[in-house]
Amino acid sequence: MAVPAAFFAVFFAWPVAAIVLRGLKADGTWHLGRVTDVLARPDIRHVLWFTTWQALASTALTLLIALPAAYVFARLDFPGKQVLRAVITVPFVLPTVVVGTAFLALVGHGGLLDELWGLRLDTTVWAILLAHVFFNYAVVVRTVGGLWAQLDPRQEEAARMLGASPLGAWRRITLPALAPAVAAAALMVFLFTFTSFGVVQILGGPTFSTLEVEIYRQTSEVFDLTTAAVLTLLQFAAVGAILAVHAWTVRRRESTLRLVDASVTARRPRGAGQRALLAGVLGTVALLLVLPLAVLVRRSLDAPGFAYYRALTDADGGTFLTAPLNAVWTSLEYAAAATAIAVLIGGLAAAALARRDAGRLVRGFDALLMLPLGVSAVTVGFGFLIALDRPPLDLRESWILVPLAQALVGAPFVVRTMLPVLRAVDLRLREAAAVLGASPWRVWREVDLPLVRRALLVAAGFAFAVSLGEFGATVFIARPDNPTLPVAVARLLSRPGELNYGQAMALSTILMVVCAAALLLLERARVDRTGEF
């Protein structure tokens, strides 16, 4: 546990504390009275209200649209099911910058809706809500659908035989069993939308701002570190409460269910109702998930002769000091390094947490590992510049700074993927190997590693995809001559001109293809076939 604890202390707790303290203490004087002043400002209260309101609305809309798909993937068997499962997961691993760009190409100025009907939804709350549903659709389908597929259908059938109506049997038998999974999915969606940055930054314009966007604006544009520090603490407290509720929900989910093999619960659609439901889900996936990505690709091909793609090979001497296409290789190199760090840190943490004799302090560290997913990435990135600027850790000019920030986001995915598998390893296997004279290292290499190899590959795949798309912290610390793909896309979108917009679409398409390829490799290496993360 020492290595993961030291890593998170140095590269997460220290930078966050440094930027918060810098904001609350200036010229040797504490400005704690500014906390109430900041919270009393009408513009800040409006940001807090919008952040909470849009997160609640996004969560409700995502559940409404995705729960029917969870049933379809859990209970129905149809051709192309595995391919469709991979398709709906692509948006989840895409960077939020690409999600915002895809919807900008669909609902923005000159987008598909604008061309067909003169309808523009950019800079409206509906564009933000739909983009959040696009991004979080797979969270609900996989979390709820994975559990739904393992619920014994004979319990509901028995209730039907005793005279219950189909709705009554579902309400009294299935819904209570699904409630913890639905609550866990809802909390995850709320967490992701509450801390939304890239989507709101691109689609919200100057009208809408979440806490994350406002922290970025106060830090990089207004240079009001006190306001940014107060907002960071507020977001930190909110995310901590959300994670505490999430941890309680997951524990309840794991301890109250009786599950069966998921492969025996899915059947071919029967009756007009199930066929209509399947058709509706397929239509929703086509319109909500596939169409924005297809429009993104089409906009990148608007210019004849792949002009936007060819322009990526030219350095313009303005925003970029090098050809934008070089961002592809830079992102791949950074993501590979971040994946190695995340797998090392997350693997060690999962191994420590999986021990049955782990103490309360070690188990409490499990919740702390999730905090980087909810704490402002902007705060972490700016904190890196402030905290890691002097010996013995003067890393501001080092390339490793970006992979370190990306690994903070990837490590929790590694822990969440590997921990259930490590806990499932039979302790008697390890004890038998030890009795036969194997050292602890040999026990791990010959007993544990073969059993968790697939989980390790899945964890590495998630860490790579997440690192590839990290934007909030990277936008602060990426060097001008080595921007990552999300940073390059954001810079191109911030500049006027059709060529810049087309290059942003082309780069976003390249990033989408790379993420999709990583996802397909991940799907082939999945630990199980239940469809659960």
pLDDT digits (tens, 9 = 90+) for 111-156: 777 777 777 776 678 889 999 999 889 888 877 877 777 676 777 7
Distance of CA 58 to the CA centre of its chain: 15
Model pLDDT, residue 530: 39
Rounded to the nearest 10 degrees, how much is the dihedral formed by the CA atoms of 201, 204, 210, 215? 40
Q: What is the largest CA-CA distance in the chain?
A: 76
Residue from 381, 346, 326 nearest 464 by CA: 346
Tokens of 334: 């950074």
Model pLDDT, residue 531: 39
Q: ∠ CA 204-210-215 to the nearest 5 degrees?
A: 115
Residue pair 106/295 in contact (Cβ under 8 Å)? The answer is yes
Residue from 219, 254, 218 nearest 146 by CA: 254
Model pLDDT, residue 343: 92
Q: Identity (one letter) of the amino acid at 498?
A: E
Instruction: Tell whether the torsion through CA atoms of 28, 33, 36 and 40 is positive or negative.
Output: negative
Residue tagged 């051709």 (tokens): 79
Q: Phi, psi (5° rounding) for residue 512?
A: -65, -45
Spatial separation of the C-alpha atoms in residues 374 and 372, rounded to whole Å: 5
Spatial separation of the C-alpha atoms in residues 300 and 296, rounded to whole Å: 6
Q: Identify the three-state secondary structure at position 14.
A: helix
DSSP-assigned beta bridge partners for residue 389 = 394
268 exposed, middle or buried (CB, 10 Å; 0-12, 13-18, 19+)?
exposed
Spatial separation of the C-alpha atoms in residues 130 and 65, rounded to whole Å: 10
Long-range pairs of 329-335 with CB within 8 A, sequence gap ≥ 24? 330/482, 330/483, 330/484, 330/485, 331/468, 331/484, 331/485, 331/486, 331/511, 331/514, 332/468, 332/514, 334/399, 334/402, 334/403, 334/406, 334/467, 334/484, 335/403, 335/406, 335/464, 335/467, 335/468
Residue pair 446/455 in contact (Cβ under 8 Å)? The answer is no
Model pLDDT, residue 64: 94
Tokens of 134: 């696009």
Spatial separation of the C-alpha atoms in residues 531 and 512, rounded to whole Å: 22
Instruction: Tell whether the torsion through CA atoms of 521, 281, 100 and 132 is positive or negative.
Output: negative
The angle that helices 96-107 and 485-493 make with each other, rounded to 10 degrees, is 30
Rounded to the nearest 10 degrees, how much is the dihedral formed by the CA atoms of 413, 133, 93, 55? -40
Residue pair 254/52 in contact (Cβ under 8 Å)? The answer is no
Model pLDDT, residue 337: 94
Tokens of 347: 């693997």
Residue pair 103/129 in contact (Cβ under 8 Å)? The answer is no
Spatial separation of the C-alpha atoms in residues 248 and 266, rounded to whole Å: 30
Spatial separation of the C-alpha atoms in residues 284 and 62, rounded to whole Å: 12
DSSP-assigned beta bridge partners for residue 12 = none
DSSP-assigned beta bridge partners for residue 151 = 259
Spatial separation of the C-alpha atoms in residues 296 and 513, rounded to whole Å: 12
Helix segments in 25-174, DSSP class H: 33-40, 42-75, 81-93, 96-107, 112-117, 125-148, 153-161, 166-169
Q: How many helices (H) and strands (E) does the chain have?
A: 28, 4
Model pLDDT, residue 250: 57
- List the chain residues with pLDDT less than 70: 26-34, 122-123, 150, 152, 246-266, 315-321, 356-364, 367, 424, 519, 522-533
